[in-house]
Chains A and B, each alone.
Chain A
Amino acid sequence: GAGVSQTPSNKVTEKGKYVELRCDPISGHTALYWYRQSLGQGPEFLIYFQGTGAADDSGLPNDRFFAVRPEGSVSTLKIQRTERGDSAVYLCASSLMGQANTGELFFGEGSRLTVL
């Protein structure tokens, strides 16, 4: 499809395990964003990539969270030693360039992570 693709759509894991969430942005979009949406809350910013580099990772909650985008396209959000509080929907978005101030971000459907 032509939209932002996120896999898996659902992931159930046990506390302490390692998890990877993948985002395939719209072709040609240089900007990529990760947000986290906990139950009953709005999405919260995690990290922003412009090309291959993380331009701002200030939203990552702690050093268990890491994200990469090695070729400037697909991105992987990695969570080590998962905790129950990591349970949330992880949203990925992309845009032609940094465009949060125009709102022209295209969001995927999210990956729902449940940590038991």
Chain B
Amino acid sequence: GNSVTQMEGPVTLSEEAFLTINCTYTATGYPSLFWYVQYPGEGLQLLLKATKADDKGSNKGFEATYRKETTSFHLEKGSVQVSDSAVYFCASSSNDYKLSFGAGTTVTVRA
């Protein structure tokens, strides 16, 4: 089955710093890949996605590119803000109902 491994945290950054969170996947076939985010006191929500190789997902200044050759989907943001403090989850799916999540990375951005 599918599985996802993501960089362990926690990660603490200063405002305007560059953020990268590594994520690699294992799967039979070519899964869809996602980054979900959980802000304090809120439910998980989709941040961005890519459904095939070389696709780039982007949202709120975050980007991730589906790399088949390295089985990776690393999350990046060039200049983080305090409001980006959250837990970030990498996930994959090969069907229409089951997501496989990584363990999550807690990001704290200091002013």
Contact = CB atoms under 8 A, between A and B. Distances in A.
Contacts of B101: 35, 42-44
A103 B43 contact: no
A56 B46 contact: no
A109 B97 contact: no
Interface string B27-44: 000011010100001111
A109 B98 contact: no
Given A42-B89, A109-B41, A101 B46 contact: no
Contacts of A99: 96
Contacts of A98: 95-97
A33 B98 CA distance: 9
Interface in A1-59: 3-4, 31, 33, 35, 40-45, 48, 50, 55-56, 59
Majority secondary structure, A binding face: loop
Contacts of B4: 42
A31 B103 contact: no
Given A56-B97, A100-B95, 20 more contacts: A4-B43, A35-B101, A40-B103, A42-B89, A42-B91, A42-B101, A45-B98, A55-B97, A56-B98, A59-B98, A98-B95, A98-B96, A98-B97, A99-B96, A100-B93, A100-B97, A101-B96, A103-B34, A105-B46, A109-B43
